[in-house]
Amino acid sequence: MEFCPSCGLLLQIDPGTGSHRLRLFCPVCPYFDAILFRLLVPQIVKKARLVKKEVEPIFSNADAMKLAPKTQASCPRCNHGEAYFRQMQIRSADEPMTAFYRCCREECQLEWRDD
């Protein structure tokens, strides 16, 4: 995307007809830029490595699970009727909170969420 240096609007592409070649033009002011010349001039490109964010677990460790409240919820994997839960606001303030569950059964420990 290129912007007009005069007024700051997004430049549009003029396909060109006859003797005119492909060019960028501003729909508001008389600015235009020939794309042919732009291809001949090397552009500065900055490359940066993408650093991924660490994902924090909803339930951090076994000690946190001992203090977490329990509720009556059926596990989708083992159908156990009790689960630990935690509620968080992950969307905008006018949306309801999201409940995260973890199965209480030691063998299962499945984590799921209820939107």
Model confidence pLDDT, tens digit, residues 75-90: 999 999 999 888 888 8
User: In terms of domains, do 75 and 110 share one?
Assistant: yes
Q: How far from 58 is each of 11, 63, 80, CA to CA, in Å?
A: 46, 13, 20
Q: Is 29 annotated in some ligand binding site?
A: yes
Within a domain: 50: no
Domain of 76?
62-114
| The total number of structural domains that make up the chain | 2
Maximum mean pLDDT: which of 33-47, 61-75, 78-92: 78-92
Residue 105 has pLDDT above 60, yes or no: yes
Helical residues (DSSP H) of 1-115, grouped into ranges = 35-40, 62-67
User: In terms of domains, do 37 and 76 share one?
Assistant: no
Within a domain: 56: no
Q: Is 104 annotated in some ligand binding site?
A: no
Q: Is 26 annotated in some ligand binding site?
A: yes
26 HSE (CA, 13 A, CB side): 14
Q: Could you give the dihedral angle defined by the CA atoms of residues 92, 97, 98 and 103, in that order, rounded to the nearest 10 degrees?
A: 160
In the sheet with 23-25, reading across from the earlier edge strand, the strands are 12-14, 23-25, 32-34
